[in-house]
Amino acid sequence: MTMIAVLGNGRVGGGLALALTRAGHEVTVADRSPGSAADAARTARVVINATPGAGSVERLVALREELRGKILVDVSNATVDGPDGLPAELLHPGSSLAELLQEALPDTRVVKTLNTMLHTVMTAPAALSQTPTAFLSGQDPQAKEVVRGLLADLGWQREWVTDLGGIETARATEAAVLFVPHVIRSSGFAPFAVSITR
């Protein structure tokens, strides 16, 4: 059992919290208020950032002390939305939200994952007709192994998880969000994920 704090109680955060609780972890969900987030992060071993990416850096920097020594799992994408509310461009071209978080929180081990799929796939990868891929980006191998374990608890088989390397590789996975509006317009709001097939 791992003590986990989920920051963000929307569809992504709520879904992850429910699935991880069912898997036997002790999960606390915080809303966007600073007090709620600080209280949740303080007692957790793993903190999941499921807050809107556009404000994540500012929100999490305010929790620097609470996040010291913790694993921060970043599942968010930082985008500029178009008129239809779907991602239109990246907020941090030439970098990534995960890199900015790691730079701003040097005493926190940031791992990027689960940001290349519709939120429902995060907790039900086997529901797709083909095998999806979950990517890992991060500097700390031990932190990534902890996250691998949490992914397994969410239904991700080990061979479905690809470690891309350092935190800078999050640039690639975060850029994949630009597929999302086109896929949705083409095929509707149905579960999908980026998949690497060999």
Give residue-wise pLDDT tens across range 67-90: 999 999 999 999 998 898 889 999
First to last CA, the chain: 34
Rounded to an integer, what is the distance from CA 120 to the centroid of its chain? 13
**Both structure tokens of 99:** 């890199």
Give residue-wise pLDDT tens across range 38-53: 999 999 999 999 999 9
Give residue-wise pLDDT tens across range 5-46: 999 999 999 999 999 999 999 999 997 676 889 999 999 999
Residue with tokens 């907020």: 91
Q: How many angstroms separate the CA atoms of 73 and 171, rounded?
A: 15
- pTM here is 0.96
How many percent of the chain have pLDDT more than 70?
99
The runs of H, that is alpha helices, within the chain are: 11-22, 34-43, 56-61, 64-67, 97-104, 119-122, 141-153, 170-175, 180-187
CB 23 within 8 A of CB 153: yes
How much is the average pLDDT of 175-198?
A: 90
> Distance of CA 81 to CAs 6, 89, 178, Å?
24, 7, 10
Q: Name residues whose C-beta falls within 8 Å of residue 114's C-beta, 6 or more positions apart in sequence.
A: 73, 75, 122, 134, 151
How much is the average pLDDT of 149-156?
A: 98
How much is the average pLDDT of 150-176?
A: 97
Residue 166 scores a pLDDT above 80 = yes
Average pLDDT, the chain: 94
Half-sphere exposure of 47 (CA within 13 A, CB side): 30
